[in-house]
Amino acid sequence: MAERLVGRPAPDFNMETALGDGEHFGKASLSDYKGKWLVFFFYPLDFTFVCPTEITALSEAYAKFQELNTDVLGVSTDSIHSHRAWIRADKNDNGLGKLNFPLASDITKSVARDYAVLIDEEGIALRGLFIINPESEIVYQVVNHNHVGRSVEETFRVLQALQSGGLCPINWKPGDKTLDTKS
């Protein structure tokens, strides 16, 4: 049975990254994002088919995330060298091209395990997406089958609902009223 992470402190992490420029490497830790919102997402493998559609869509939306004081970090169990090769690969050859955020390497699989998305027998992660608030608390998690990509639009909607500070009813969208609990 999967563990509930929402409402709990985000598990700490320290990982090496391939930067989105496709040239350099870096490091990422949970403390790097303190004071900001973080969209932290896992994907199964580099050089696959659904993953580049999600990663490039999130990269294209990065400026909008930044407007919401939100950063983005992708992670898989591949190495930083595989990540860099994938970023450098031509989009016509299932490559990513340059990204606006880094891809982290969870080669030890410890972070995927801590976030309860590791498929042990395959050594890869499920598609897990977590929104972590500025106090490093997980406030949203969605985990789905690896054959189905996630929605950037829904991620924005949920992020803005969380940032509204109100009670947001079904199908709430930015600009809609939140629920009045005093009625």
| Active-site residue set | 51
Under DSSP, the state recorded for 76 is E
Cα 120 to Cα 109: distance, rounded to the nearest angstrom: 9
Cα 137 to Cα 140: distance, rounded to the nearest angstrom: 9
* Tokens 């595989």 belong to residue: 82
Q: Which of 38, 29, 35, 34 is nearest to 141 (CA)?
A: 38
Q: What angle do CA 10, 16, 19 make, to 5 degrees?
A: 105
CB 98 within 8 A of CB 18: no
Cα 54 to Cα 94: distance, rounded to the nearest angstrom: 13
Cα 26 to Cα 30: distance, rounded to the nearest angstrom: 14
